[in-house]
Structure 1
Amino acid sequence: MDDFIAARSQMALSLGFHIIFSCIGMVMPFFMAVAHFYWLRTGQDVYKNVTKAWSQGVAIFFATGAVSGTVLSFELGLLWPGFMKHAGPIFGMPFSLEGTAFFIEAIALGFFLYGWDRFNKWFHWFTGVVVGVSGLASGILVVAANAWMNSPSGFDYVNGQYLNIDPIEAMFNDAWFTQALHMTIAAFVATGFAVAGVHAFMILKGQNVLFHTKSFTIAAFFGCAAAILQPLSGDLSAKDVAIRQPAKLAAMEAHFKTEKSASLIVGGIPDVKNKKVDYAIKLPGFLSFLAHGDFKSEVTGLDKIPAKNHPPVMITHFAFQMMVGSGMAMMLIAIIYFFSLWKQKRWLSSNWILKLFAIATPLGFIAVEAGWTVTEVGRQPWIIYNIMRTADAVTPMPGISYSFYLFSAIYISLAIIVIFMLYRQIKMVGKLYDKP
């Protein structure tokens, strides 16, 4: 493995782990706050038990997210010094603000975890809300920095120099809103389905049914509501990408030839050499509609883009299909769930619907990982779109492959530890929180 591929692989590995912790850290505090609110309003101890159990999970993911996020920050400077030299002064503001949000989140979480029976009950609840709001703000600010890489703005690029820097314009670049919206909803979908799936599995096993039923209801509602909304944000994102990054859209859809009334491809295996897609289902005109809101509009293909600027089509296409497929499956489950709430409440206690959620436990995070693959791989060969190539930003330091192997071992160990801690916590729920 050469140093360039090793640097990219290490960054991908770090981001792949961190994004899971980040999503849970952004969303779980809101679940926790809802359960806490129900306890304050109803006085039912089961909601207090749910709140305490979830707060322990929040603490675990906050700690691991802090570690993995710190590693990512160092990696930006160590692996990509060419990038940070030029980009740091431009998009440093969202990172600085993210640090502030992180410290607020840490302080609020400390208040919440140790504030039981010490604070006014509503102030204690409010500290939990602050954990969620600050965590959400932290995630949005990081996404704003990533969006700048896809839509660089806030400076003039003249003869290789970055002049007239405007950090506000850089932070609120053309891509930040659609990326932040899509990522925020994705975090609610992924976390909602993962948490609901775990509790559905425990209900199926007949363990602590009251506790897990209340937990399942809160998580499933959030996850399903977000799953219904996600295609709308996806449509906004697709139209935005079609305008700003036509090469990325072409790679996502393996769209090799520029044409009007372009077909939307479902599945298929791209044949990059012969510029075609085999075994695909084609929906005539739907790509034009997805990209431009008109079934007859022209969609730019890879034939209009220099070959040296083509993203890796195979990876981008398969990741996009995986993201969309997972999202559609969760949306279907969400429709069934809300129909059950509306017309068939007896379905909610049926084993088959619980099995659906249990099976769907990993789907949200599969979609998140695939979506980030589309975002990052689809931007290649640029680290700053149309400004700086990724190969020009990598460190000249040799031996990055050994660093990649070391970090792989560290992250695998961290994953095993987190899984063990969560497993132990779930087992403890039966002993501590199974109260009426």
Structure 2
Amino acid sequence: MSGWLSQVIDQDYLLQARQMQALSFAVHIPLVCFGMALPTLILFLEWRAMRTGQEVYRTLARRWSRILVALFAVGVVTGTVLSFEMGLLWPQFVGTFGSVFGLGFAIEGFSFFVEAIFIGVYVYGWDRLSPRWHFASGIPIVLTGVTGSFMVITVNAWMNNPSGFRLQNGQVVDVDPVRALFANPFLWHEFVHMYIAAFMVTGFLIAGCYAVSMLRGRTTPYHRVALAVPLTAASVAAPAQIVVGDWAARTVGEQQPVKLAALEGLGATTSGAPVHLLGWYVDGEVRYGIEIPRLLSLLAYHDPDSTVRGLLSFPPEDLPPVNVVRIAFQTMVGIGSALALLAVIFLYIRIRAHRLPASRWFYRAVVLAGPAAVVALIAGWVTTEVGRQPWVVYGVMRTNEAVTAASGIPIGYAVLAAIYLGVVVGVGWILHRLAIRPLPADPPPRELVEEGVP
């Protein structure tokens, strides 16, 4: 203990508080993805409607804007819960470092209010604004959805690589929030990684819904466009994520060597360190895994003979739960690789043959891709957050020094789980109601209109 608290917090409180926070993140993060990516897809559809005059694009944009409203409303609920949890579960963290990262949450709050205003303008302006002004009213939604998420990620990046302050007698002094939040080597790879993940999650989930319709024989132009647009966005994002992942791994290797060792389960410091697929870390080594020689050194430092520091070279109290980190990381990478393969198949057929794939197996894979992308998203955040343990602020404040000493967390945890269950059921019902609303009737052929046939 480094003296942040005058008392040692019961470990039970720490585990319960972390589980409660993790539950809230798991519910909220997919909604963040929709807030970042869905407005862009909607504006693209509206732009296509203005360019081509085809009503199918406008119909899709209008229907998806209702989904955006529903998910934004739920995001307000889950985001508010997270805000309260920050102060209630981690009072020492917020009280000590609030002056450092507070600017990030202030800008995020401002972005949220601007986004809410323009979502209202956009949704209620479909028949009240000219097409150009209506399209323009959606641009701030795209921008604020990105800036709000960007500011939250600046705080997370700072937690992984803290700077912009000094500690003097346990007090934070000489605070420079701009340097702390924006001059951080973790910031840009975290933001780009999350931004691309947002298009993967949103694109594959929406495409999966319409893939079900395609499997049921609904192959109208509406359903084909509704599948092609989000699937194309997700398919462009998925291969790009592999490049960003390499960037992130090299930054982690330089700044958080203990996390890099935990990702692989590397016990001893090794020159030409291998990667083990699957397996279980125990007693300083990975057992039952499939070894790929020198791959960890190559991926982390772009040199197959480079030396990677092992877990046994760090104090035991500074190690994260290795198997949790390894399983989460390999889950993220495995699903991400499968999604990238699916994306390449789709793009190849789309570009080469100028059509959608014909195989029913492809559409079955798209249906599974949406939930799989959510699993990969949450696994990625587990990798980031659990891999930083036991630190809430890396190298500065431990998580058990930040947690509340209040009792009653199990009761709050149970109530929160029940509330989230109700929210999930409610959202499912709302989205189902929106999905079954009848489509507008197709206009009659032009020649019939000219002849006066109703």
TM-score, scaled relative to structure 2: 0.93
- Verify: 1:365 aligned to 2:374, yes or no: yes
Which amino acid in 2 is paired with 1:3? Answer: Y
SS in 1 for 2:278: strand
Cα distance in 2, alignment partners of residues 433 and 380 from structure 1: 53
Distance in 2 separating the partners of 1:251 and 1:354: 36
Instruction: Report matched runs for 1:269-348 at 5 Å.
Output: 269-271=280-282, 274-346=283-355, 348=357
8 A Cα contact 1:208 1:434, kept in partner: no
Q: Is 2:262 the counterpart of 1:251?
A: yes
Equivalent position SS for 2:404: coil
Indicate if the aligned counterparts of 2:203 and 2:230 stay in contact, CA closer than 8 A: yes
2:232 aligned partner:
221
Question: 1:96: how far off?
Answer: 0.7
1:208 CA displacement:
6.4
SS across alignment from 1:348:
coil
Are 1:423 and 2:432 matched, yes or no?
yes
- Say what the alpha-carbon RMSD is for the aligned residues: 1.4
Distance in 2, matches of 1:206 and 1:425, equals 20
1:383 partner SS = strand
**Distance in 2, Cα, partners of 1:339 & 1:191:** 21
Q: Is the 8 A contact 1:320 1:374 kept in 2?
A: yes
What's the CA shift for 1:346? 5.0
- Among candidates 56, 59, 63, match of residue 66 of structure 2: 56
Residue number in structure 2 paired with 1:158: 168
Deviation readout 1:291-317 (Å, 9 max, x if unpaired): 111111111110111000000011111
Other-structure match for 1:39: 49
**Correspondence for 1:236 among 223, 226, 247:** 247
Equivalent position amino acid for 2:187 in 1: W
1:356 to 338, 358, 365: 365
2:284 and 2:312 in contact (8 A); partners too: no
Which position in structure 1 is the counterpart of 2:4? none
Q: 1:97 to 1:347 in 2, by over 3 A?
A: closer
Q: Distance in 1 between matches of 2:354 and 2:101?
A: 50
The SS at the match of 1:361 is helix
Deviates more, 1:173-182 or 1:233-242: 173-182
Say if 2:268 is the partner of 1:261: no
- 1:432 maps to what in 2? 439
Which runs of 5 or more structure 2 residues have no equivalent in the other structure? 1-10, 444-454
Corresponding letter in the other structure for 2:214: I
> Secondary structure, in 3 states, of the residue corresponding to 1:342?
helix
CA offset digits 1:22-74 (Å, max 9, x no partner): 11111111111111111111111111110111001100110011111111011
State the 1:350 CA deviation: 3.5
SS of 1:157 mapped into structure 2: strand
Instruction: Tell me, in whole angstroms, the C-alpha distance in 2 between the residues paired with 1:398 and 1:312.
Output: 25
Local SS of the residue matching 1:432:
coil
Output the amino acid matched with 1:183.
Answer: M
Corresponding residue for residue 197 of structure 2:
186
> SS state of the match for residue 380, structure 1?
coil
Structure 1 position 433, deviation (Å): 4.2
Shift, 1:343, TM fit? 2.1
**Does the CA contact (< 8 Å) of 1:3 and 1:399 recur in 2?**
no
Match of 1:30 in 2: 40
- Aligned counterpart for 1:9 among listed residues 11, 19, 35: 19
What secondary structure is seen at the aligned counterpart in 2 of 1:174? coil
Deviates more, 1:318-327 or 1:149-158: 149-158
2:383 to 364, 374, 385: 374
CA distance in 1, matches of 2:293, 2:367: 36
| 1:91 and 2:101 correspond | yes
1:199 partner amino acid:
Y
String of CA shifts for 1:180-225, please: whole Å, max 9, x gaps.
1111111111111111111111111123632121111110111000
Asked which structure has the greater CA Rg, the reply is 2
- Name 1:107's counterpart in structure 2: 117
CA distance in 1, matches of 2:113, 2:378: 26
Work out the percentage of aligned pairs sharing the same amino acid.
39
Separation in 2 of the partners of 1:420 and 1:118? 29
| 8 Å CA contact 1:46, 1:435 repeated in 2 | no
- Cα distance in structure 2, aligned partners of 1:212 and 1:136: 28
CA contact (8 A) 1:347 1:353 kept: no
CA contact under 8 A between 1:193 and 1:220: conserved in structure 2?
yes
Q: 1:209 aligns with which of 198, 215, 220?
A: 220
Please name the residue that 2:136 is paired with: 126
On the 8 A contact 1:156/1:163 being kept in 2, the answer is yes
- 1:211–1:434: 8 Å Cα contact kept in structure 2? no
